[in-house]
Amino acid sequence: MRVAHDGSSTAWTALGEDELFARLEEYRSGDLDTKGGRTWAYVYDPGRPDIDRVAKRALVEFYDENALDPTVFPSLLRIENEVVGLAREHLRGDERVVGNFTTGGTESIMMAVKAARDRARELRPDLDRPTMVLPVTAHAAFHKAAHYFDVEAVSVPVDTSTWKADVPLMADACDDRTILLVGSAVSYAHGVVDPIPELGQLALERELLLHVDGCIGGFVLPYFRRLGREVTDFDFSVPGVTSISMDFHKYAYCPKSASVVLYRDPELRRHQLYAKAAWTGYTVINTTFQSTKSGGALAATWAALNYVGDRGYLEIAERTLAAVDEIIAGLADSPDLDVMGRPESNLIALTSDTVNVFDVVDEMRTHRWYVQPQLGFAGSRENIHLSVGGASLELVPELLADLVAACDAARHRPTPPADDEIVALLHSLDPATLGPEEFDLLLAGAGIGSDGGAPEVPDRTAGINAILNVCPPELAERVLVEFFNRIYVPE
Ligand X SMILES: Cc1ncc(COP(=O)(O)O)c(C=O)c1O
Distance CA 233, CA 91 (A): 10
Position among 52, 166, 194, 247 found at the interface with ligand X (CB under 6 A)? 247
CB under 6 A: which stretch of 101-109, 295-303, 322-330, 450-458 binds ligand X? 101-109
Shortest distance in whole angstroms from residue 450 CB to ligand X: 28
CB-CB contact of 377 with 220 (8 Å): no
Distance CA 280, CA 277 (A): 8
Nearer to ligand X, 209 or 244 (CB): 244
Backbone CA torsion sign across 367, 368, 370, 376: positive
Shortest distance in whole angstroms from residue 451 CB to ligand X: 33
Q: Is 39 in the site for ligand X (CB under 6 A)?
A: no
Shortest distance in whole angstroms from residue 345 CB to ligand X: 10
Relative orientation angle of helices 436-445 and 473-487, to the nearest 10 degrees? 100
Nearer to ligand X, 193 or 467 (CB): 193
CB under 6 A: which stretch of 32-40, 67-75, 213-221, 305-313 binds ligand X? 213-221
Q: Is 389 in the site for ligand X (CB under 6 A)?
A: no
Nearer to ligand X, 90 or 460 (CB): 90
Nearer to ligand X, 254 or 407 (CB): 254
Shortest distance in whole angstroms from residue 245 CB to ligand X: 7
Distance CA 466, CA 154 (A): 27
Relative orientation angle of helices 396-412 and 296-331, to the nearest 10 degrees? 70
**Phi/psi of residue 433, nearest 5 degrees:** -105, 0
Position among 67, 165, 216, 410 found at the interface with ligand X (CB under 6 A)? 216
Q: Is 105 in the site for ligand X (CB under 6 A)?
A: yes
CB-CB contact of 33 with 240 (8 Å): no
Q: Is 385 in the site for ligand X (CB under 6 A)?
A: no
Nearer to ligand X, 344 or 363 (CB): 344
Amino acid symbol at 323 = A
Relative orientation angle of helices 74-90 and 296-331, to the nearest 10 degrees? 30
Distance CA 456, CA 318 (A): 41
Q: Is 141 in the site for ligand X (CB under 6 A)?
A: yes
Q: Is 104 in the site for ligand X (CB under 6 A)?
A: yes
Contacts with ligand X, residue ranges (CB under 6 A): 104-106, 109, 139, 141, 184, 188, 213, 215-216, 247, 259
